[in-house]
Structure 1
Amino acid sequence: VTLDPDTANARLLLARDGRGATWSRVPQDLPQKAQRFDPSCCVLGARGFSGGRHRWEVALGDDEGAWALGVARGSVRRKGWVDLLPREGIWALGRCGRRFRSFSAPETTIPAPETTLPAPGKLGRIQVSLDYMRGQVAFYFPGQKIPIFAFQNAAFDGEKIFP
């Protein structure tokens, strides 16, 4: 997935190739754009999907900090604090400490079995699977068949969905 620099919050430093981001304490001096997230620390992929099945892997850093990843409607709100919830057009999974969290209503904390949950700093990768027609967004450890969490019957409303 290549990230869209025009949507990136000023605290997210994008890799030169656009395929990674890291958080910075100091915001960059970036041009104001309607599509840029502010103040929420978010970024969208450059390419969205309006049908089909898609899978991609996200490499996670060695940092033990909190993170979230998933998909969003193209119309997602960019200004003001964004709630990472399906009603806002976002289907996401996050991690804080040794617990995964689905950003759903009601919120679901997922105590993954110790055998499948790597130690902090050793997580590696998460696979995201999008089935547009079925309205499904699922998150996996690569090579595993049972998802960490899956959103069923997501309401994409015919919109383009972005990683």
Structure 2
Amino acid sequence: MCLKHDKPLELYCKTDQTCVCMLCHFSDHKMHDVVPLKEGYEGQKAELETDIQQMIQKRQLKIEEIKHSVDLSKEEADREIAEGVQVFTALKESVERGQANLTIKEKQKTTENQAEDFIKELEQEISELKKRSSEVEQVQVKGKTRWDLGVVRESINRKRAFQLSPEDGFWTIWLRDGKEYKAHDAPSVSLSLKSQPQKVGVFVDYEEGLVSFYDVDAAALIYSFTGCSFTEKLFSYFNPSVNGGGTNSAPLIIAPVRVN
């Protein structure tokens, strides 16, 4: 009902887009575009539906744009992730190579340090060996048929009978009858030599507990006392033995030589 004229609203004013009664049409809406209410309603409904459809289309287009933007963003994100993975992989490989190189350098440095330490130890040992300087004596036996040669402890009892054995402090070899050679070890050892030595070298390594006898000219080992325990000074021991009616008259000639 029209509130102004208390009449039914029968018309629709397109100009003002409002419902009016007949009296309103002839007074206030006389020059306006006025149609029956049902026609106006249908028209407005159509317009509204059109507007709604347009708004729906706009929003659908917006949705498609957003989806497309999301797809582009995802593709960009995937690309950036892939690039990031490549960069990270390259960086990781670089770091690993750096770490590997560092490890190799550290190993090389460790090896060099170990080598230096080992060289120092060897140089120290060489120095100690040079300081130690074992003695060699060349006690010449040419032309003799009997002799005793070797080394002896300082503390042996010279006033009583003794045996030429390591237990009594003797490390010696001897010649008898011009051909019988023997080392006075425990027990004694008969020596079989290819030739009769003309010069016998006596080598003593105090630290190693070693006494060795050599044929100097043949550069051949005659015999070695090993595992000896030296706790005091050692002295040369030699016995030219008896003359034997002139068969053993040749002298023993002693020639000390220092070997570094």
Considering the TM-score relative to the shorter chain, is it more than 0.5? yes
Corresponding residue of 2:223: 149
Cα RMSD for the two superposed structures:
1.6
Structure 2 equivalent of residue 93 of structure 1:
173
How far apart are residue 134 of structure 1 and its match?
A: 0.4
Deviations 1:61-104 (A, max 9, x none): 5232x211100110011012121000001100111131210011
Q: Cα distance, 1:56 vs. partner? A: 1.2
What is the number of residues matched between the two proteins? 104
What stretches of structure 2 of length at least 5 have no aligned partner? 1-131, 237-260
Which has the higher relative contact order, 1 or 2, with Cα contacts under 8 A spaced 6 or more apart? 1
Amino acid at match of 2:167: R
DSSP-derived class of the 1:147 partner: strand
CA distance in structure 1 between the aligned counterparts of 2:217 and 2:206, rounded to whole angstroms: 22
Distance across 1 between alignment mates of 2:192 and 2:182: 9
- The aligned amino acid for 1:111 is S
Provide the residue aligned with 2:204 in structure 1.
130
* Structure 1: distance between partners of 2:144 and 2:160: 26
Cross-structure match for 1:71? 151
User: Is the contact between residue 198 and residue 217 of structure 2 (CA under 8 Å) also seen in structure 1?
Assistant: no
Residue identity (%): 27
Instruction: Give, in whole Å, the separation in 2 of the partners of 1:100 and 1:147.
Output: 13
TM-score by length of 1: 0.59
Number of the residue aligned with 2:187: 106
Aligned counterparts of 1:70 and 1:131: Cα–Cα separation in 2: 13
* Bigger Rg, structure 1 or 2: 2
**SS of aligned partner of 1:156:** coil
| Alpha-carbon separation, structure 2, partners of 1:153 and 1:146 | 21
CA distance in 1, matches of 2:142, 2:214: 17
What SS is found at the alignment partner of 1:59? coil
Specify whether residues 61 and 146 from structure 1 end up closer, same or farther in structure 2 by C-alpha distance, changes over 3 A only. Answer: closer
1:84 corresponds, among 149, 152, 164, to 164
Separation in 1 of the partners of 2:212 and 2:190?
Answer: 15
Q: Which has the higher strand share?
A: 1
Aligned-partner Cα distance in 2 for 1:91–1:52: 20
Deviation >4 Å, runs of 4+:
none
Code of the residue aligned with 2:187 in structure 1: it is P
The verdict on how the C-alpha distance between 1:90 and 1:128 changes in structure 2, with shifts beyond 3 A counting, is same
Q: What amino acid does structure 2 have at the position aligned with 1:126?
A: V
Using the alignment, how far apart are the partners of 2:227 and 2:169 within structure 1?
13
Distance 1:153 1:101 in 2: 19
Aligned-residue offset at 1:145:
4.4
Counterpart in the other structure of 1:58? 139
Task: Measure the CA separation in 2 of the matches of 1:59 and 1:145.
Answer: 14
Contact 2:165 2:185 in 1 (8 A): yes
